[in-house]
């Protein structure tokens, strides 16, 4: 009798992610994932296949780097180890180094005890759902290793960071310099802790670095795009013109003005979309963003005759929509800014440079450029539930959602979704009536909590 193989769902919205040394983020599973990816991409049996591996500064990165390398080389892949580099550098170097696959070891904005494995295809873009499912199927079954003479090699690549730096600088307007501009750069003690300050200094800025002393456990800790207070205080103390706050793998950004006030991804995208449209650079007059982006952004674009194309949450879905529609600008409220004219994925440093270029070209301070529209009041609450539960299936929760939708007709919008990386129900609503906003959110949250208890 033929046995049925159970295929475990490993990939979430952005690769495989979880707590280090807890399934699925164990060394054993990383070795299996590496071997499965090796078998998937070395599908003709030849020995010329390459994979580039980058990582951020988490302590567990060493463990996963070695485990993935073992799995990949066991199936005949040749591994090029980049060391700590931003996620967008892996997308770039996958193509420029003619690799078959790129891997980034990072849990992005998460705390140090988490880690993740993200894949890029040979075109530098993140893998499709179909490719991820096929790799999951290979993990579930026996993986035939390469013959001894075909085992792959591994070597360290010392110039990956410099290749990326030169590419990022090449996107800055030709002949423009940052001389006279005082910039705070917060690298979240993460992957960009060397390259981001270097790029800004080489372009002429006076650089005040924050979060550039990684120790393996302080990534995103009280710094970076999810914790901007330190950068804001540094801006005020030093009289800086602007702040750029990256996350742990530098694929997202928050911009801080000269007063330390934060501009999120929606405000950054609004500025860029308006400028690009005026320069006839915004393809199809369309910006791609997720369902989380503020209603104020949608209204801002409509007033300019531009279109907002919404997608599911996750920068990969933004990129997939951009590629389907032939659009060249997209991103997320959380700070992923994707410019396919320059990069294959979100790039916080690149987006930061585009903001600095706007400051220089217009002569306006960061505070003027970072407030393109008035946000509609938005509230988001998360409710944790036990694995195996589905609170959204409960009749009481469905009734609460239906009631909230009725109350918001013509006044706002409601979004309910489960997290792709944690057992959380995310309840988000927008409404200019603050009382109504709190009422609908709290009503749904109470019912979800009752079911999840």
Domain termination site, one of 158, 185, 208: 158
**Same domain, yes or no: 385 and 285:** no
**DSSP β-bridge partners for residue 207:** 183
**Same domain, yes or no: 147 and 84:** yes
Residues 19 and 421: beta-carbon distance below 8 Å = no
**Same domain, yes or no: 254 and 333:** yes
Which one from 60, 108, 225, 227 is the annotated catalytic residue? Answer: 108
* Predicted local distance difference test score (pLDDT) of residue 283: 98
Residues 293 and 266: beta-carbon distance below 8 Å = yes
* Predicted local distance difference test score (pLDDT) of residue 3: 56
Residues 218 and 205: beta-carbon distance below 8 Å = no
The domain total for the chain is 3
Asked, for residue 262, whether it belongs to a domain, the answer is yes
Asked, for residue 29, whether it belongs to a domain, the answer is yes
**pLDDT tens figures, 270-285:** 999 999 999 999 999 9
Calpha distance 167→85 (Å, rounded): 13
Domain termination site, one of 342, 369, 396: 369
- Produce one character per residue of 7-27: b if its CB has 16 or more CB atoms within 10 Å, e if not: eeebbbebbbbbbbeeebbbb
**Same domain, yes or no: 218 and 123:** no
**Same domain, yes or no: 209 and 306:** yes
Return the CATH number at 205.
Answer: 3.40.120.10
Residue reference for tokens 């800055």: 172
**Same domain, yes or no: 237 and 208:** yes
**Same domain, yes or no: 399 and 419:** yes
Asked, for residue 104, whether it belongs to a domain, the answer is yes
**Same domain, yes or no: 260 and 365:** yes
Residues 68 and 117: beta-carbon distance below 8 Å = yes
Asked, for residue 6, whether it belongs to a domain, the answer is no
* Predicted local distance difference test score (pLDDT) of residue 338: 98
Q: What is the DSSP letter of 405?
A: H
User: Does 108 qualify as catalytic in the annotation?
Assistant: yes
Calpha distance 146→152 (Å, rounded): 9
> Which of 261, 345, 331, 246 has the alpha carbon at shortest distance from 294?
331
Calpha distance 188→16 (Å, rounded): 22
Domain termination site, one of 369, 396, 414: 369
**Same domain, yes or no: 147 and 248:** no
Q: What pTM value is reported for the model?
A: 0.92
Cis peptide before 56 (omega within 30 of 0): no
Q: Quote the tokens at residue 224.
A: 């970076």
Residues 164 and 124: beta-carbon distance below 8 Å = no
Asked, for residue 326, whether it belongs to a domain, the answer is yes
Domain hosting 333: range is 175-369
**Same domain, yes or no: 229 and 249:** yes
Asked, for residue 153, whether it belongs to a domain, the answer is yes
Residues of the chain with pLDDT under 50: 1
**Same domain, yes or no: 152 and 247:** no
* Predicted local distance difference test score (pLDDT) of residue 250: 98
**Same domain, yes or no: 297 and 383:** no
Asked, for residue 5, whether it belongs to a domain, the answer is no
* Predicted local distance difference test score (pLDDT) of residue 1: 43
Q: Quote the tokens at residue 421.
A: 């990386």
* Predicted local distance difference test score (pLDDT) of residue 173: 96
Calpha distance 329→275 (Å, rounded): 12
Return the CATH number at 395.
Answer: 3.30.310.50
């Amino acid at each position: 009798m033929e046995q049925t193989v159970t295929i475990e769902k490993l990939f979430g919205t952005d690769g495989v992610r979880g707590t280090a040394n807890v399934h699925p983020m164990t060394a054993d599973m990383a070795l299996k994932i590496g071997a499965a990816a090796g078998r998937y991409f070395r599908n003709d049996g030849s020995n010329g296949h390459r994979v580039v591996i980058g990582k951020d500064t988490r302590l567990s990165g060493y463990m996963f780097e070695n485990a993935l390398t073992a799995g990949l080389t066991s199936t005949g892949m040749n591994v090029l180890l980049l060391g700590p580099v931003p996620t967008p550098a892996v997308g770039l170097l996958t193509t420029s180094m003619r690799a078959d696959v790129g891997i980034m070891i990072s849990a992005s904005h998460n705390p140090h005890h988490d880690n993740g494995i993200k894949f890029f295809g040979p075109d530098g873009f993140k893998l499709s759902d179909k490719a991820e499912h096929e790799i999951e199927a290979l993990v579930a079954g026996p993986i035939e290793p390469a013959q001894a003479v075909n085992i792959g090699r591994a070597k360290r690549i010392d110039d990956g960071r410099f290749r990326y730096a030169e590419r990022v600088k090449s996107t800055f307007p030709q002949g423009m310099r940052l001389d006279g501009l005082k910039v705070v750069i917060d690298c979240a003690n993460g992957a960009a802790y060397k390259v981001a300050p270097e790029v800004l200094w080489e372009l002429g800025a006076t650089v005040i670095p924050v979060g550039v002393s990684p120790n393996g456990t302080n990534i995103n800790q009280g710094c970076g795009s999810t914790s901007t207070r330190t950068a804001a205080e540094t801006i005020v103390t030093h009289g800086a013109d602007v702040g750029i706050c990256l996350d742990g793998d530098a694929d997202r950004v928050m911009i801080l003005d000269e007063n330390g006030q934060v501009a999120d991804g929606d405000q950054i995208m609004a500025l860029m979309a308006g400028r690009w449209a005026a320069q006839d650079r915004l393809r199809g007059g369309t910006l791609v963003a997720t369902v989380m982006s503020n209603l104020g952004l949608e209204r801002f674009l409509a007033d300019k005759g531009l279109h907002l194309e919404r997608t599911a949450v996750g920068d990969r879905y933004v990129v997939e929509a951009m590629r389907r529609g032939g659009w060249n600008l997209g991103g997320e409220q959380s700070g992923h800014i994707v410019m396919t004219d320059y990069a294959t994925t979100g790039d916080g440093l690149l987006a930061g440079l585009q903001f600095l270029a706007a400051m220089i070209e217009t002569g306006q301070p960061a505070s003027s450029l970072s407030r393109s529209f008035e946000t509609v009041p938005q509230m988001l609450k998360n409710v944790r539930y036990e694995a195996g539960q589905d609170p959204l299936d409960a009749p009481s929760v469905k009734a609460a959602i239906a009631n909230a939708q009725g109350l918001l007709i013509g006044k706002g919008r409601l979004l309910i979704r489960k997290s792709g990386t944690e057992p959380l129900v995310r309840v988000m609503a927008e409404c200019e009536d603050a009382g109504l906003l709190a009422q609908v959110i709290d009503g749904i949250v109470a019912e979800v909590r009752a079911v999840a208890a």
